[in-house]
A and B are shown apart, each in its own frame.
Chain A
Amino acid sequence: ETGVTQSPTHLIKTRGQQVTLRCSSQSGHNTVSWYQQALGQGPQFIFQYYREEENGRGNFPPRFSGLQFPNYSSELNVNALELDDSALYLCASSLAGVVYGYTFGSGTRLTVV
């Protein structure tokens, strides 16, 4: 059974640029969530996708967007990058949401300069 894999592991971007982060869900999982973890803080919920539809969103601006594909892999897109977007971005997959528990990937470390 494979876990959650994220790519790339590290990324450096310039303020104003756009970035796409990728996530491959654990086999059999149809739900994927994305979290932002700033240095020294707990992860913050960005949004969740269930069967290719967004079914929950946290307090993040619209320049944070996502996609979930038929194979349940996922992308997080961030437009107009700001310095404060520098963080560890975590992807988590689940069979069907909170009660079943989430498996987290190791994350993508994004640095905006």
Chain B
Amino acid sequence: AQSVTQLDSHVSVSEGTPVLLRCNYSSSYSPSLFWYVQHPNKGLQLLLKYTSAATLVKGINGFEAEFKKSETSFHLTKPSAHMSDAAEYFCVVSDNDYKLSFGAGTTVTVRA
């Protein structure tokens, strides 16, 4: 069975400071892992994905995530937050060819 736990329901940062969103996963097999972002009234946009290649994955808009098998973690980071980063972020796991399992989401607010 596959599942994801996002450890923070809400993260608040100041503009220009680092962002860290924490995610732990559970999977019976070698998983594929993703981070998606959802802005209000918009669809989900893929930030980055890990599919058993390099453990440090670089995504769009300056985001990156590191796959740590020993810790079953896939935390998302960005060195410097921008106001446009305010959104809902979802960590997603899949260990099959058809089903994505989403975490409950982390709401990011960015203070000016």
Query: In the bound complex, what is the Cα–Cα distance between A107 and B32 (angstroms)?
Result: 24
**Which candidate, B14-22, B68-76, B77-85, B102-110, is the interface stretch facing chain A?**
B102-110
**Chain B residues whose CB sits within 8 angstroms of the CB of A48 once the complex forms:** 98-99
Cβ-based interface call for A105 (8 A) = yes
Binds B, one of A14-22, A37-45, A62-70, A71-79: A37-45
Query: Given A42-B105, A98-B32, A90–B97 Cβ distance below 8 Å?
Result: no
Closest to A98 in B: B94
Greatest chain B CB density within 10 A among A33, A55, A101 is at: A101
Is the Cβ of B105 less than 8 Å from the Cβ of A98?
no
Of A42, A50, A107, the contact of B103 (CB 8 Å cutoff): A42
Residues of A within 8 A of B94 (CB): 98
Q: Assess the A45–B99 pair: CB atoms within 8 A.
A: yes
How distant is the Cα of A41 from the Cα of B88 in the complex, in angstroms?
10
Q: What B residues does A56 contact at CB under 8 A?
A: 96-99
Q: Which residues of B contact A97 (CB under 8 A)?
A: 97-98
Whether B102 pairs with A43 at a CB distance below 8 angstroms is: yes
- A103 and B90 CA atoms in complex are apart in Å by 15
- What would be 7 A-B contacts, judged by CB atoms less than 8 Å apart? A4-B43, A42-B102, A43-B100, A58-B99, A97-B97, A99-B32, A104-B43
B residues with a Cβ closer than 8 A to A are 32, 34, 36, 41-46, 49, 51, 90, 94, 96-105
